[in-house]
Structure 1
Amino acid sequence: MSNPEQERKDQQGSSNLLSKLRVSGKIIEFKSEGEEKLVCPYCGSTTFIFDYENGQVICAKCGSVVLEHVIDLRPEWRAFTAEEKEARARAGGPLNRLTSEALTTTIDWATKDASGKELDIKRKLEILKYRKWQQRVRVQTSYERNIIQAMNELSRISSQLGIPKACVDEAMGIYEQVLTKGLVRGRSVEAIVAACLHMACRKIGMPRSLDEISQYTRASRKEVARCFRLIARELGVRLPLSDPKLYVPRIVEQLKLSGEILKEALNILEQAKRKGLTAGKDPAGLAAAAVYIASLLKGEVRTQKEVAMAAQVTEVTVRNRYKELARELNIKIPIK
């Protein structure tokens, strides 16, 4: 015959245990190695509490211990700040596309050991031999040689243009696809890299034109544009149209203009977009014209030559877009 008082105490103790574990533990839907949900054999629940201290998986509904001696996968150290966590973690950073498996090992050119003691001549010759063989085995296939050459070229162009790392990683990913498809054979690596970088900029929304990128490579703009069209066609890439608004902040910053000019130029481009004036036009030219009009309206005048140089377009483009926007949007330019 069961004791009601004892059952009540057991239920109360189980409830207190669950309350404690809900605070210190983690409620999970535990899955076994076969990717099947673990089910409590007593109540059929699929929600469990992981007790980190005791290594147990406990049913969150009835309090039954379903699994014991579960391995705690958390780190054994504690960290209270981001700096402590970074210093104590033993895992590496995220993978970088600009590093290759062929570049992971290097032999230093120093002539001292770990304790700072100078190596003898026999050890120096031995290390020199190791270094020579290490350089020979770093790159074994044509694929690795091509990748390393593209990495160096991409790093050089991106550093000169000030392109962020996310865009560079995207460009390297595109180049790997191009290399896998065999599109690099018979073509300039510099042109392919420049085309991949321009495509990555278009994908991420970075205002970098073909003219601007081709200035920092030995390939001509025509060759870079031809490679860009080839890559887009072979990879089936559909790129979004460049928004003229993306060019405005960079032009304003180079001309040392105020935030009012930036706001007014963006407003002019928004009106032009609603009227359909931006279709088929060079986005850099439209942005330059909008900045030029805004500078005239706000009294911070810059010449058409200065605006054209900042936007990497010609003065004729700025003049034509300026006249078109002023006429279609009915903007009254004050005469100085």
Structure 2
Amino acid sequence: MSSKVCKNCGSSDIDVDQARGDAVCMTCGSVLEDNIIVSEVEFVETGGGGSSAVGQFVSTDAGGINPSFGDNHFSGVGRESRAQTLQRARLNINTLGHQLQMNKHCLDTALNFYKMALMKHLTSGRKNSHVVAACLYLVCRTEGTPHMLLDLSDILQVNVYMLGRTFLVLSRELCINAPAIGTHSPASAGFTLLHSAE
């Protein structure tokens, strides 16, 4: 948490991550600060024989002149990458959601779930299509739509258990209470299969 306030929505729920070098509004997802730069670079050898750069982060809040890397070639890279990731996620959510005939409210909610997953780094190491499907299924569960995880699995042509694992991680890590499906609904068969695989 920070004493900063988002210029876009006015929220004071700001996630400042010194390691990533950014400050992000947790309400609307705006990147408030992403030009924290490295003032001193040192390369060290890692255990696997590779190398990594280490240095000290210098925030724009610290004042003074900010040193730059070469010809400012890297300026704004984080924002562009994040914007592109969210744009691609929105397109994928809309495409998959329209195939399931989901309304705009559900698609917007799924995108918000995706933004939350992105903030908590839950998208790293996972296929984007699996995260998108899990976000849509979270909406199906929270909104009570008649869609099953098997529907998403069929459209994407991926194993239902792989999607189920991603769904369970997202619902747990994002603290989203996905209501259980009724025992007599056809969707419960897919969810029962999912839990029996664990």
TM range (shorter): 0.5 to 0.7
Q: Distance in 1 between matches of 2:145 and 2:108?
A: 13
Q: What residue is the counterpart of 2:166 in the other structure?
A: 227
1:1-336 aligned within 5 A: 141-243=80-182, 278=183, 283-284=185-186
Is the CA contact 1:195–1:225 (under 8 Å) kept in the aligned structure 2? yes
Residues 219 and 153 (structure 1), Cα distance of their counterparts in 2 relative to 1, 3 Å cut: farther
Distance 2:164 2:137 in 1: 9
- In the aligned structure 1, how far is the partner of 2:187 from the partner of 2:102? 21
Distance 1:194 1:230 in 2: 13
* Cα distance in 2, alignment partners of residues 213 and 227 from structure 1: 13
Cα distance in 2, alignment partners of residues 219 and 180 from structure 1: 25
1:325 corresponding residue in structure 2: none
Higher helix proportion (structure 1 or 2): 1
Which structure 2 segments of 5+ residues have no match?
Answer: 1-27, 31-75, 191-198
Offset of residue 160 of structure 1: 1.0
Q: Which has the higher contact order (CA 8 A, sep 6+)?
A: 2
1:190–1:219 Cα contact (<8 Å) kept: no
1:220 is displaced (CA, Å) by 2.8
Larger proportion of strand: 2
Match of 1:191, SS state, is: helix
Which runs of no fewer than 5 residues in structure 1 stay unpaired? 1-96, 101-136, 244-277, 287-311, 314-336
TM-score (norm: length of structure 2): 0.53
Larger Rg: 1
- Percent identity of equivalent pairs: 28
* Partners of 1:188 and 1:219 within 8 A in 2: no
Q: Give the aligned CA root-mean-square deviation in angstroms.
A: 3.0
Q: Kindly provide the amino acid, as one letter, of the partner of residue 239 in structure 1.
A: A
Question: CA offset at residue 201 of structure 1?
Answer: 1.1
Distance 2:91 2:139 in 1: 17
Superposed CA deviations along residues 215-254 of structure 1, whole A, max 9, x for unmatched, are 22254322211110110111112122224xxxxxxxxxxx
Instruction: Give me the whole-angstrom Cα distance separating, in 2, the residues matched to 1:227 and 1:217.
Output: 14
Taking a change above 3 Å as real, the CA distance of residues 164 and 180 of structure 1, as seen in their structure-2 partners, is same
Q: CA separation in 1, counterparts of 2:187 and 2:118?
A: 34
